[in-house]
Structure 1
Amino acid sequence: MSTIMFVHAHPDDEGTLTAGSMIRAADEGHRVIVVFATRGEHGEAPDDLQPGESVADRRVAEATRAARIAGAAGVHWLGYRDSGMAGWEQNHHPQAFLQAPAEEAAERLAALIAQERPDVLVGYDWHGNYGHPDHVRVHQVVRRAAELAEPRPRLFEATMNRDRIRRQYRLATASGVPDAEGFDPDQPMNDGNPLGTPEAEINLAVDVAAQVVRRREMMACHASQVADIRPWLELPLETYAAVFDTEHYLEVGSSDPMRPGWFF
Structure 2
Amino acid sequence: MATVVFVHAHPDDEASQTSGSMARAASEGHRVVLVVATNGDHGDVPDDLADGETVVHRRRAEAAASNAVIGTHHVAWLDYADSGMTGWAQNDHELSFTRADTEEAAQKLAAILREEGADVVVGYDWHGGYGHPDHVKVHAVTKRAAEIAGTRRYLESSMNRSAMIRSHQAAVAAGLDVGDWDPSAPMDDGNPLGSPEEELHWACDVSEFLEVKRSALKAHASQSDARGMLEMPEEWFAQGFSWEHYIEPGRPDGMVTGWFLGEETVG
Query: TM-score range, shorter-chain basis?
Result: over 0.9
- Residues matched between the structures, number: 261
The match for 2:165 is 166
The residue matched to 1:79 in structure 2 has which SS? strand
The Cα of 1:177 is off from its aligned counterpart by 4.7
The Cα of 1:186 is off from its aligned counterpart by 1.4
The match for 2:155 is 156
Q: Does 1:205 align with 2:203?
A: yes
The match for 2:228 is 231
CA contact (8 A) 2:198 2:253 kept: no
CA distance in 2 between partners of 1:145 and 1:123 (Å): 10
What is the aligned-residue identity percentage?
Answer: 52
Post-superposition Cα deviations, 1:103-142, rounded to whole Å, max 9, x if no partner, equal 0000000000010011111000000011100000000000
The residue matched to 1:194 in structure 2 has which SS? coil
State the one-letter code of the partner of 1:129. G
Post-superposition Cα deviations, 1:206-234, rounded to whole Å, max 9, x if no partner, equal 000100111111111111111x1222211
The match for 2:28 is 28
State the one-letter code of the partner of 1:165. M
The match for 1:221 is 219
Q: Which runs of 5+ in 1 are unaligned?
A: none
CA distance in 1 between partners of 2:168 and 2:219 (Å): 26
The Cα of 1:176 is off from its aligned counterpart by 5.0
The Cα of 1:240 is off from its aligned counterpart by 1.1
Q: Does 1:262 align with 2:259?
A: yes
CA distance in 2 between partners of 1:110 and 1:232 (Å): 32
The match for 1:129 is 129
Counterpart among 241, 246, 255 of residue 244 in structure 1: 241
CA contact (8 A) 1:120 1:263 kept: no
The match for 2:147 is 147
The residue matched to 1:191 in structure 2 has which SS? coil
CA distance in 2 between partners of 1:218 and 1:126 (Å): 26
The residue matched to 1:4 in structure 2 has which SS? strand
CA distance in 2 between partners of 1:73 and 1:89 (Å): 35
The match for 2:41 is 41
The Cα of 1:239 is off from its aligned counterpart by 2.5
State the one-letter code of the partner of 1:162. R
